Structure 1
Amino acid sequence: MGYNILPNLEYCKEIVDGYASFLYYTHIPPTIMALLLGIYVLVKNRKSTSAQLLFALSIVFALWTTTDLLIWLTFDQATPMMFLWSLIGILSSLMFALTFFFTFSFVTGRRIPVWLVAAWGVLLLPVIIGAPTSLNLQGFDIRDCVAVEAAGFLYYYHGLGLLTAVLIPFLPLLRRKQEEAKSIPRAAVTFATLGAELFLLTFLGTSFLASYLVETGVVPDFGLEQYGILAMAVFMAFLAYLIVQYNAFNLKFLGAQALVIALVILVASQYLFEQSATNYWLVTLTLVLTIFFGFILVRSVQREIKQREHIEKLAKNLESANNQQVILIHFITHQIKGFVAKSRNIFATALEGDFGTIPDTLRPLFEEGLASDTRGVATIQEILNAANIKNGKVTYAKEQIDLKTLVDEVANDQRRTAEKKGLKLVIETGSEPVMLLGDRTQLVNAIKNLIDNSVKYTPSGEVHIELVQTRDKIRFSVKDTGIGITPEDMSHLFTEGGHGAESMKINVESTGFGLYIVKNIIEAHGGKVWAESEGVGKGSRFVVELPAS
Structure 2
Amino acid sequence: MIELNLDLISVGITAAGIGILGFTIFFNNTRSITNTTFLAFSLITIVWSIANYLQYQPSTPATGLWTVRIITFFGVWHALVFFTLCYVFPDAQAKLPKIFFYALVPIASVTALLTLTPLVFSRVTQLSPEGVVVGIENGPAIALFGILSIALIVAGIGTLLRKAYVKSGHERHQIALMGLGTFITFVCIVSFNLVLPAAFNNPRFLPLSAVFIFPFVACTAYAIVRYKLFDVKVLATEILSFFLSVATLLQVLFAGSAIELLFRLSIFVLVLMFSILMVRSVIKEVRQRELIEKQEKELEDINRQQESLLHFISHEVKGYLTKSEAAFAAIFAGDYGEVQPKLHDMSGMALADVRKGVDTVIDILDASNLRRGTVSFKRDTFDLVAAIEEIVRDLQAEAKARGLELTFEKPVTGAYMYIGDEDKLRRHVIRNLVDNSVKYTLKGFVRVQLARTPNLMRITISDSGVGITPEDMKHLFTEGGKGAESIKVNVHSTGYGLFIAKTIVEGHGGKIWAESEGKDKGARFIVELPILSA
Tell me which interval the TM-score lies in, with the shorter structure as reference length: 0.5 to 0.7
SS at 2:457 equivalent: strand
For 1:493, the equivalent position in structure 2 comes to 476
Answer yes or no: is the 8 Å Cα contact 1:482–1:537 preserved in 2. Answer: yes
After superposition, give the CA deviation of every residue in 1:104-156 in whole Å (9 maximum; x if it has no partner).
Answer: xxxxxxxxxxxxxxxxxxxxxxxxxxxxxxxxxxxxxxxxxxxxxxxxxxxxx
Establish whether residue 279 from structure 1 lines up as the match of residue 260 from structure 2. Answer: yes
Match of 2:306 among 298, 317, 325: 325
Establish whether residue 250 from structure 1 lines up as the match of residue 233 from structure 2. Answer: no
Answer yes or no: is the 8 Å Cα contact 1:399–1:437 preserved in 2. Answer: yes
For 2:521, the equivalent position in structure 1 comes to 538
CA distance in 2, matches of 1:490, 1:28: 64
| Post-superposition offset of 1:298 | 3.0
Establish whether residue 370 from structure 1 lines up as the match of residue 370 from structure 2. Answer: no
Answer yes or no: is the 8 Å Cα contact 2:16–2:242 preserved in 1. Answer: no
| Post-superposition offset of 1:422 | 2.8
**TM-score scaled by structure 2?**
0.58
Answer yes or no: is the 8 Å Cα contact 1:50–1:249 preserved in 2. Answer: no
What code does the residue aligned with 1:251 have? F
SS at 1:250 equivalent: coil
SS at 2:485 equivalent: helix
Answer yes or no: is the 8 Å Cα contact 1:494–1:515 preserved in 2. Answer: yes
SS at 2:448 equivalent: strand
Answer yes or no: is the 8 Å Cα contact 2:459–2:526 preserved in 1. Answer: yes
What code does the residue aligned with 1:414 have? L
For 1:504, the equivalent position in structure 2 comes to 487
SS at 1:362 equivalent: helix
SS at 2:342 equivalent: coil
For 2:329, the equivalent position in structure 1 comes to 348
Establish whether residue 475 from structure 1 lines up as the match of residue 458 from structure 2. Answer: yes
What code does the residue aligned with 1:440 have? E
CA distance in 2, matches of 1:500, 1:356: 46
| Post-superposition offset of 1:292 | 2.4
Q: 1:34 to 1:456 in 2, by over 3 A?
A: same
CA distance in 1, matches of 2:175, 2:448: 70
Q: 1:470 to 1:30 in 2, by over 3 A?
A: farther
| Post-superposition offset of 1:396 | 1.7
After superposition, give the CA deviation of every residue in 1:68-109 in whole Å (9 maximum; x if it has no partner).
Answer: 9xxxx99xxxx999xxxxxxxxxxxxxxxxxxxxxxxxxxxx
| Post-superposition offset of 1:249 | 7.0
Establish whether residue 443 from structure 1 lines up as the match of residue 454 from structure 2. Answer: no
| Post-superposition offset of 1:18 | 9.5
| Post-superposition offset of 1:281 | 0.5
Answer yes or no: is the 8 Å Cα contact 2:20–2:238 preserved in 1. Answer: no
| Post-superposition offset of 1:327 | 1.9
Deviates more, 1:340-349 or 1:314-323: 314-323
CA distance in 2, matches of 1:295, 1:489: 50
Answer yes or no: is the 8 Å Cα contact 1:487–1:535 preserved in 2. Answer: yes
For 1:191, the equivalent position in structure 2 comes to none
The alignment covers a number of residue pairs equal to 373
Answer yes or no: is the 8 Å Cα contact 1:435–1:548 preserved in 2. Answer: no
CA distance in 2, matches of 1:36, 1:51: 22
Question: Which 5+ residue runs of structure 1 have no aligned equivalent?
Answer: 1-16, 82-235
For 2:390, the equivalent position in structure 1 comes to 409
CA distance in 2, matches of 1:37, 1:306: 18
Percent of pairs with identical residues: 38
Match of 2:512 among 519, 529, 538: 529
| Post-superposition offset of 1:511 | 0.7
Answer yes or no: is the 8 Å Cα contact 2:460–2:524 preserved in 1. Answer: yes
| Post-superposition offset of 1:472 | 1.2
SS at 2:341 equivalent: coil
CA distance in 1, matches of 2:285, 2:488: 47
What code does the residue aligned with 2:307 have? V
Answer yes or no: is the 8 Å Cα contact 1:51–1:249 preserved in 2. Answer: no
Answer yes or no: is the 8 Å Cα contact 1:271–1:280 preserved in 2. Answer: yes
For 2:156, the equivalent position in structure 1 comes to none
CA distance in 1, matches of 2:302, 2:530: 38
For 1:337, the equivalent position in structure 2 comes to 318
Match of 1:433 among 415, 422, 431: 415
Q: 1:324 to 1:287 in 2, by over 3 A?
A: same
Aligned counterparts, 1:142-153, within 5 A? none
For 1:195, the equivalent position in structure 2 comes to none
CA distance in 1, matches of 2:494, 2:330: 28
For 1:386, the equivalent position in structure 2 comes to 367
For 1:101, the equivalent position in structure 2 comes to none
Answer yes or no: is the 8 Å Cα contact 2:9–2:249 preserved in 1. Answer: no
Establish whether residue 261 from structure 1 lines up as the match of residue 237 from structure 2. Answer: no
For 1:227, the equivalent position in structure 2 comes to none
Answer yes or no: is the 8 Å Cα contact 1:402–1:435 preserved in 2. Answer: yes
Please tell me the root mean square deviation across aligned C-alpha atoms, in Å.
Answer: 4.5
Q: 1:51 to 1:25 in 2, by over 3 A?
A: farther
| Post-superposition offset of 1:514 | 0.8
CA distance in 2, matches of 1:51, 1:61: 15
